[in-house]
Amino acid sequence: MRDGAYVQAVSGARFDLAAGECLALVGESGCGKSVLASALLGLLPGNAETAGSAFAGDLDLIAADERTLARTVRGRRVGLIPQSPAAHLMPVRTVRSQLEETVRELTGVRRGPRLRAAAEEAAARAAFPAGHLDRHPHELSGGLAQRAATALALVGDAPLLLADEPTTGLDRDLVERTVDELRRHIGAERALLLITHDLAAAERIADRVAVMYASRIVELADAAAFFGSPGPRHPYARGLLDALPDREFTPIPGMPPELGALPAGCAFAARCDRATATCATRPAFADGVACHHPATVPLEAPRA
C-alpha cells in the first residue's frame, strides 16, 4: 500500500529454477523485479501483503516467519548480492571484519586462525584480492565492492544466489567481468537468479530469460531462442531487443502504466502496435507467453 492506495507490484509470477541454471529476470525499472526479490527474502515493508508460494526445497519462503527467514533462509538457502554493494557493506568496518562476522554467523567457526582462514577463503572464491581485505568500503572501486558483496553471499553455500541488479553503475568491461564471475559460481548444487535491466549481461550468462512488465512475467523462454532465433514472442520483449544499439535502436513508444493503476486488460496494449479489442481482457500465460497476439516471425539478425 502507498499513500492509502494498493499497488500491485508483483502479480502471477510463476517460474522454476534448477541447480546449475541461471535465470535472468529482465524488464524496465519499476516493473517489480526487485520487489519480487525482496518477497523471496522476506524483506518487504511491513504494510506489504503477499499470497502464493515460493519453495526453496521443502520450505515455502512466502509463508515463512521472520525467525525462520533469519535463521535458515538468508545466507543459508538464499545468498543475496545486492543492487548497491557499497551501501550494503558496513562503512565503518573493514571487508575482513564483515566476512569474519558472516562466517561466525553461518558456519559456526568462532575465532582464531580458522576464522581468519575461512574469511580469506570466502574472499578468494569471489576473486576479491587478499591485499584489500583490511580496507573499508569507501576505499574500494565499484567492481571490488561488488566482489566483496559476492564473497559475503557465498559464505553460507546457499543453493540459490540472488543477484539484484549487480552491474548497476559499472562500465561495460566490469559488467562482463562481474557476470562472468557470477556464472562461475553456478554449479551442480547452486542456481543463480539474475535480476537486471541489462540485456547484454543477461545474454552473456543466462540459460533462460523471464521478461517482466507492469508487475507480471509476460514471457519465459530459453536464452538462446530469445536472443537468437526465433526471438521473443511478446511484443514488449521484442521491443526491448529492438531498442538495443546493436539491433534497431528503436525505443518502445509511451510509458509503462503506474503499478497502482493497472488496466483490467493487457498492461502493454496502449504501447503495442498489435493491440486489438481482444486486448481489453487480460491474456492468460500459456506456452511461455502472456499475449493475445504473440509474434511468430523470427527477429532480424543483429547488425555487424
Name the DSSP class of 119.
H
Reply yes or no on whether the pLDDT at 304 is more than 70.
no
Q: When comparing pLDDT for 70 and 107, which is higher?
A: 70
Number of C-beta neighbours around residue 153 at 10 A = 25
Per-residue pLDDT, 248: 84
Give me the long-range contacts of 202-207 (CB less than 8 A, separation at least 24): 202/24, 202/26, 203/227, 204/176, 204/179, 204/180, 205/22, 205/24, 205/179, 205/180, 206/22, 206/23, 206/24, 207/21, 207/22, 207/23
Name the DSSP class of 252.
P
pLDDT tens readout for residues 79-126: 999 888 877 899 999 999 999 999 999 987 788 899 999 999 999 999
Reply yes or no on whether the pLDDT at 2 is more than 70.
no
Question: Over the chain, what is the mean pLDDT?
Answer: 91
> Residues of the chain with pLDDT > 70: what percent?
96
Reply yes or no on whether the pLDDT at 4 is more than 90.
no
Find out whether 23 and 15 touch, Cβ atoms under 8 Å. Answer: yes
Q: Which of 23, 51, 28 is nearest to 39 (CA)?
A: 51
Per-residue pLDDT, 255: 92
Per-residue pLDDT, 163: 95
230/236 Cα distance (integer angstroms): 15
Reply yes or no on whether the pLDDT at 301 is more than 60.
no
Cβ-proximal residues to 134 (8 Å cutoff; 6+ apart), any chain: 94, 95, 96
- Alpha-carbon Rg of the chain, whole angstroms? 20
Q: Is 298 exposed, middle or buried (0-12, 13-18, 19+ CB in 10 A)?
A: exposed
Q: Which residues pair with 9 in a beta bridge?
A: none
89/175 Cα distance (integer angstroms): 20
116/131 Cα distance (integer angstroms): 14
Q: Which of 85, 88, 68 is nearest to 76 (CA)?
A: 68
| Cα–chain center distance at 204 | 15
Find out whether 210 and 220 touch, Cβ atoms under 8 Å. Answer: yes
| Edge-to-edge order in the sheet of strand 289-290 | 78-81, 160-164, 191-196, 22-26, 208-213, 216-222, 289-290, 285-286
Q: Which residues pair with 79 in a beta bridge?
A: 161
215/199 Cα distance (integer angstroms): 18
Reply yes or no on whether the pLDDT at 221 is more than 80.
yes
Q: What grid cell was written down for 117? A: 582462514
pLDDT tens readout for residues 124-158: 999 999 999 999 999 998 889 989 999 999 999 99
Query: Strand, coil or helix: what is 299?
Result: coil
Q: Which residue type sits at 144?
A: L
Name the DSSP class of 95.
H
